[in-house]
Amino acid sequence: MDMSVFDLFKIGIGPSSSHTVGPMVAARRFLLESGMLDEAVGVEAHLYGSLALTGVGHATDKAVILGLMGETPQELDPASVDDKLDLTALDGQIALLGIKTVPFDARVHLVWHKASTLPEHPNGMRFVLQLRDGSIIERIYYSVGGGFITAAGEAQARTLEPVGTPVPYPFDTMVQLLEHGRTHGLTIPHMLRANERVRMSDADLDAGLDRLWRVMRDCICQGLKTEGRLPGGLNVRRRAAALWKQAQETQPQNALPHDAVQQVSLYAMAVNEENAAGGRVVTAPTNGAAGIIPAVLRYYAEDCRPIDPQRGVRDFLLTSAAIGMLCKKNASISGAEVGCQGEVGVACAMAAAGLVAALGGTNEQIENAAEIGIEHHLGMTCDPIGGLVQIPCIERNGMGAIKAITAASLALKGDGVHFVSLDSVIETMRQTGADMQVKYKETSLGGLAIHVVTVNHAAC
């Protein structure tokens, strides 16, 4: 499997990895690959399918403009976004990659194809660069979930010709990973570490993992102290900060047995409120599900009394990545492709597996926890109200974090023997997503999205 832990976990900005991070990366990549920037006199971006239907709510338009300007999700300061976009709108022009200035009006040069899709994925983009001699350069890209992008035909080419440096413990299924473990007497985090060492040193790997945890932790802290309302028009009130303050003020004699678990849900909600506000988050494996792994990680670091928390956090992230890789390769982590089961469901499985690994569970217990996490999200639709990553997404992360801890607990109390394999439940998720109607897959054309809007209109 030609994938790194740092492919799966990316530092970026909200509100969506597939609708914000991916399009930003694609727009920049298009210009870099064009090779004709000096000859450019104009540019257009055409958005299709789910990107067009819920793109405004997911800030896809802003992301594309920022990508054309040369910005990257990992380096962009969220606080600078509005100023950059306002300047482009005021000037009526855009500096492509910060170098070549051409006329630009988002109302004209961003085209939303809401009734059309491109053949390889629901999240399709077509970029057009107009040159001085009247010719054009045109390319198609797909945002396939979690901030991953592919050019047209690229995904198929990779299945025919594997790329990358061979790793010591290659795996495309959990069966293969478990067999490596039995043969070599190694845990899943040990094998993932060995695979990563083909690409980087132990020191670089640990520094990267520590940075991911630092960004996650900072995002929780920021969300737990920030109040107000989220952007986008729904006027959703941020709740994590007020609920956190209330939880801290509760007198010990009045505390309920579940209060510690409730705090985990607040950690997750804090992250996803930050994501909805366009803040700095880590795709885990997507922005829409970015709160679950940080919440369970903080629960591990603070409530599980680990002897070596730093090592445990690293093992947690490596193990989580292994589960995410399997889900991405054999099903999808894109809500537009398989619904929210591929986002919150996969994140829950990743967090459950990571927690078991950090607590010293066996490889079989890790698999069991991951399988439980996905199994109880099968069929979950993606129907965001108003196309915004707010309702029901924020609360779903809180619930997903609690489910992950429950799944880990069940797995650790068993001996690793279980009826349904992780590979089977991932394949079931893929088939369920294929059978799911398009209106339930991040289009806001069905389900909760239209029901609530209809009720609100009727009340007016």
Shared domain check, 304 and 350: yes
Phi-psi region of 294 (alpha: psi -120 to 50; beta: other; left: phi over 0): alpha
Shared domain check, 53 and 192: no
Domain membership of residue 114 (yes or no) is yes
- What is the pLDDT at residue 454? 47
Domain membership of residue 368 (yes or no) is yes
Shared domain check, 183 and 89: no
pLDDT above 70 for 455: no
Residue-wise pLDDT for 216-257, tens only, equals: 999 999 999 999 999 998 999 999 999 999 888 765 555 555
pLDDT above 50 for 458: no
Shared domain check, 178 and 63: no
pTM score, whole prediction: 0.92
Domain membership of residue 123 (yes or no) is yes
Shared domain check, 208 and 133: no
CA distance 147 to 123: 11
Shared domain check, 57 and 132: yes
Least confident of 42-51, 194-203, 244-253, 389-398: 244-253
- What is the pLDDT at residue 344? 98
Domain membership of residue 338 (yes or no) is yes
- What is the pLDDT at residue 248? 81
Which amino acid, residue 134?
G
Mean pLDDT of 143-168: 76
CATH number of the domain where residue 340 is located:
1.10.4100
Give the structural domain span for 251.
174-452
Task: Mark which of 128, 159, 190 sits at the end of a domain.
Answer: 159
Shared domain check, 335 and 209: yes
Shared domain check, 433 and 394: yes
CA distance 421 to 207: 33
CATH number of the domain where residue 81 is located:
3.30.1330.90
Residue-wise pLDDT for 256-301, tens only, equals: 555 667 899 999 999 999 999 999 999 999 999 999 999 999 999 9
Which amino acid, residue 342?
G
- What is the pLDDT at residue 460? 31
- What is the pLDDT at residue 211? 98
Matching residue, tokens 């040990």: 190
Task: Mark which of 109, 135, 159 sits at the end of a domain.
Answer: 159
Shared domain check, 39 and 115: yes
The conformation of residue 306, written as its DSSP 8-state character, comes to -
Domain membership of residue 386 (yes or no) is yes
Domain membership of residue 169 (yes or no) is no
Residue-wise pLDDT for 78-108, tens only, equals: 999 999 999 899 889 999 999 999 999 999 9
Shared domain check, 350 and 250: yes
Domain membership of residue 460 (yes or no) is no
Domain membership of residue 4 (yes or no) is no
Shared domain check, 134 and 74: yes
pLDDT above 70 for 322: yes
Using a pLDDT cut of 90, give the percent of the chain over it: 88
- What is the pLDDT at residue 261? 73
Residue-wise pLDDT for 417-444, tens only, equals: 999 999 999 999 999 999 999 999 999 9
- What is the pLDDT at residue 73? 94
Shared domain check, 117 and 256: no
Least confident of 85-94, 159-168, 190-199, 370-379: 159-168
pLDDT above 60 for 45: yes
- What is the pLDDT at residue 229? 96
CA distance 360 to 1: 25
Tell me how many domains the chain contains. 2
Task: Mark which of 117, 132, 159 sits at the end of a domain.
Answer: 159
CA distance 436 to 379: 8
